[in-house]
Amino acid sequence: MPVVLNRLLTVSGLMRQPHRHPDDETTPVQVPPQHPVLMVTVLGVNPEEHPEILHKVLARHGQRHRCVFVLDHDDFAPFLARGVALEYLTPLDLQAQHAALMDWPDYLSEKWMLLQLKWQPGQIIAYGMTADRFLNLSRAGRDNGL
């Protein structure tokens, strides 16, 4: 950005100056690290068990981690009530029902990879089946014409 435009935006308040360490004009202030992300897959689990799983995970890990739940069921109410981060993978039965729409295993494999890049979890734990098992069942469904 040209120096004149940069200065004009800064003086006008349209561009914020970066925060600096009070002892050194050239050192940015260190932002404390966020809580590490704990990704919790809740795949193939009866929705009636969701509140109990949510309670257990948050009681054990909620103070030290940002918990991200990956569900394959559209009953988000218990999770939304607790204000946790959610991600959704299309359940196996809907994949079979709508098999002609897309290549579900490829889509879900890519989505799982992107979720890991997005959240960068320090740890992944599973209630029900693991994400790998879920993806393998999705592939098996496609390969068997289900």
CATH number, domain of 100, equals 3.40.50
Residue type, 94: L
Per residue in 31-43, pLDDT tens?
345 789 999 999 9
- Please determine, for residue 59, whether its predicted confidence score (pLDDT) is greater than 60: yes
- Please determine, for residue 5, whether its predicted confidence score (pLDDT) is greater than 80: no
DSSP assignment of 28-59 equals: EPPPPPPPPEEEEEEES--GGGHHHHHHHHHH
- Please determine, for residue 84, whether its predicted confidence score (pLDDT) is greater than 70: yes
This prediction's pTM: 0.76
- How large is the average pLDDT for residues 4-13? 45
CA distance 105 to 11: 53
- DSSP H/E element including 69: strand 66-71
The domain tally of the chain equals: 1
4 occurs within a structural domain? no
Contact 55, 29 (CB under 8 A): no
Per residue in 86-138, pLDDT tens?
999 999 999 999 999 999 999 999 999 999 999 999 999 999 999 999 999 99
70 occurs within a structural domain? yes
| pLDDT number for residue 31 | 35
19 occurs within a structural domain? no
Q: What's the token pair of residue 133?
A: 């098992």
106 occurs within a structural domain? yes
| pLDDT number for residue 33 | 58
- Please determine, for residue 6, whether its predicted confidence score (pLDDT) is greater than 90: no
CA distance 20 to 1: 21
20 occurs within a structural domain? no
Check residues 76 and 145 and name the one with the higher pLDDT.
76
